[in-house]
Amino acid sequence: MPTSQKIMSLSVMLIVFLLVDLYVYQLVKHFTHQSEYNQVWRNIYWGFTFFYISMFLFFQLGNPYIFSRKVYTILLGIFMVNFFTKFFVVIFLFIDDIVRGFKWLYYKGVSLNATSKPTEELSISRSDFLVKTAVVAGSVPLVGMSYGIISGAYDYRIRHQKLVLPNLPKSFEGIKLAQLSDIHSGSFYNKTAVQGGVDMLLNEKPDFIFFTGDLVNNKASELNEYYDVFKKIKAPLGVYSVLGNHDYGDYVMWESEEAKRKNLERLKQGHAELGWNLMMNEHIPLVVNGDKIDIIGIENYGAKGRFPKYGKLDMAHAGSEADVKLLLSHDPSHWDAQVNAQYKDIDVMFSGHTHGFQFGIENQFIKWSPVQYMYKQWGGLYKEGNQQLYVNRGFGFLGFPGRIGMPPEITIFELVKG
């Protein structure tokens, strides 16, 4: 049963949705009032509104897992594109209403103070310019988000990055390290495309691979359909993985704590079946020709909001004596919270979590995403003193079933002594 807090939140969201739809309905009336089919268009509008609000309630209160991945993603995409398109329309309709309000007050004042009524009526019609601007504004998220779903979700990109490490042992010079993060296998609906991304990774022939958390959205069973795909992810020196905040099942209402515990155990088993070394607050030495570096992996540690703090870096770090230490920690907020303040001997931390918000602009002139207002380090390489942090923008997607200007990432590092 949903909690009273959840019911209250849903009620507020429903009110917001209905207010947005009532506002946009004014635009529908504006364009259909002279049409002989005006009532048909208005019925279509409210019919679709009823459909997407019902869909939202079902996602929140029902069991969306009864749908196939493809159907679920299509429905979620329709919902999100619909809402954000209308939201942009509302902004310009609201501006129009403010202008009309000031005009109405002005003419009202004139009519009260004049000996004769002004020729202009007090009923101010909508501005044709602002109404058309609202339509254009609404088309931007409609086209952009639709493209992000159809093309952006699986538009995998290889990012090459030199990783300069002053204490790098000679045997590790030139070695290739690959990083994946935030697979979110429960969101996928195109297995062929996902296989294409894995093939791109394997074609780079990395010597070892890091996976920095969020293999699933909530349930270990989401991985079932993709075992055969991700089992191909192998490297001569091994694959090393950690858990992300979504892997614990904290965002699902389980029938019991035992069910939640079993889900986590099943996911851990899944890492083992993939052939990945899941690191639970521990370190593993990686040896090449007698030279050694240490890989440290911790459970999720999120310094922001209510993200879980299961990670125990003190436990994982204890006994690590190699000259180079590489840390896998899902949430980049852990960097400022502990790593660069207390563990100066950790050379590089590898994270994910932010997804680059699945939206942004990145080119040689601009690097911007809304997520930067929540996370100081959100995508790419960061340096502070002798320490470095790399935040992978994610292989999968969550929530919005697409990406706009922030393609899914496979990172290939070349280890360099310098």
pTM: 0.84
Report pLDDT for 1.
47
Token pair of 143 as six digits: 């086209």
Pairing of strands 361-362, 367-368: antiparallel
Greater pLDDT, 97 or 238: 238
User: Which runs of E-coded beta strand occur in 114-266?
Assistant: 157-165, 176-180, 208-211, 239-241
Average pLDDT of span 255-281: 97
- Measuring CA to CA, which residue among 105, 170, 150, 192 is closest to residue 324? 170
Q: Domain 157-417 belongs to what architecture?
A: 4-Layer Sandwich (3.60)
Contact yes or no for 338/222 (Cβ under 8 A): no
Average pLDDT of span 149-171: 95
Task: Name the one residue in this structure whose structure tokens are 């590790």.
Answer: 172
* Element housing 179 (H / E): strand 176-180
Domain borders along the chain are: 4-150, 157-417
Report pLDDT for 122.
55
Token pair of 68 as six digits: 């196939």
Contacts for 143-146 with beta carbons within 8 Å, 24 or more apart?
Answer: 144/404, 145/77, 145/80, 145/81, 145/84, 145/85, 145/400, 145/402, 145/404, 146/81
CA 388 to chain centre: 23
Judged against a pLDDT cut of 70, whether residue 115 lies above it is answered with no
- Phi and psi at residue 169, in whole multiples of 5°? -65, 150
Greater pLDDT, 287 or 100: 287
According to the per-residue pLDDT averaged within each range, which of 58-62, 306-310, 335-339 is highest?
335-339
Contacts for 31-39 with beta carbons within 8 Å, 24 or more apart?
Answer: none
- Measuring CA to CA, which residue among 223, 216, 182 is closest to residue 331? 182
- Which amino acid is it at 167? N
- Measuring CA to CA, which residue among 60, 393, 400 is closest to residue 251? 60
Report pLDDT for 111.
67
CB atoms within 10 A of CB 291: 16
Judged against a pLDDT cut of 90, whether residue 412 lies above it is answered with yes
Report pLDDT for 304.
85
Distance, in Å, from the CA atom of 213 to the CA atom of 364, rounded to the nearest integer, reads 29
Judged against a pLDDT cut of 90, whether residue 327 lies above it is answered with yes
Distance, in Å, from the CA atom of 69 to the CA atom of 75, rounded to the nearest integer, reads 10
Distance, in Å, from the CA atom of 135 to the CA atom of 113, rounded to the nearest integer, reads 38
